[in-house]
Each structure stands twice: as C-alpha cells, then as structure tokens.
Amino acid sequence: MIENLGFIIAAYVAVWGGIAVYAVSLARRRGRS
C-alpha cells in the first residue's frame, strides 16, 4: 500500500482538475464571444 496516496492523488486532481476547469471556461467564453 502506497503511503499518503490520498494526498498524492488530491494534489494531482486539484492541479489537473483546476487546469481542465479553466480550459472549459475559456472554450465557453470563446463560444459566447
């Protein structure tokens, strides 16, 4: 069992998830403009 797996996964999900949400928001803003 990998120690601190929850922290590792949380960091990756937060960073890549944050970037993905921003990318989607850019696509939506572009669609509106």
Partner 1 sequence: MIETTASPFPTIRLRPWLGILAAAAAILASWMGLVWAPTDAVQGDVYRVIYVHVPTAWLAYLAFVVVFLASIGWLWTRRPWFDALAVASAEIGVLFTGLFIVAGSIWAKPTWGVWWTWDPRLVTTAVMFCMYVGYLLFRSLTNDFERRATRAAVLGVIAVVDIPIVHLSVLWMNSQHQLPTVLRAAGAPSLDPSMGMTLGISVVAFTLVYLALLVERMEIERQRQQRMLEVRR
Does residue 24 contact residue 17 with C-beta atoms inside 8 Å?
no
Please tell me whether residue 24 binds partner 1 under the rule CB under 8 A: no
Size of the site for partner 1 (CB under 8 A): 21
Please tell me whether residue 11 binds partner 1 under the rule CB under 8 A: yes
Q: How far apart are CA 15 and CA 30, in angstroms?
A: 23
Please tell me whether residue 10 binds partner 1 under the rule CB under 8 A: yes
Q: How far apart are CA 32 and CA 25, in angstroms?
A: 11
Tokens for 16? 């890549």
Q: Which residues here bind partner 1, judged by CB under 8 A?
A: 2-5, 7-8, 10-12, 14-16, 18-19, 22-23, 26-27, 29-30, 33
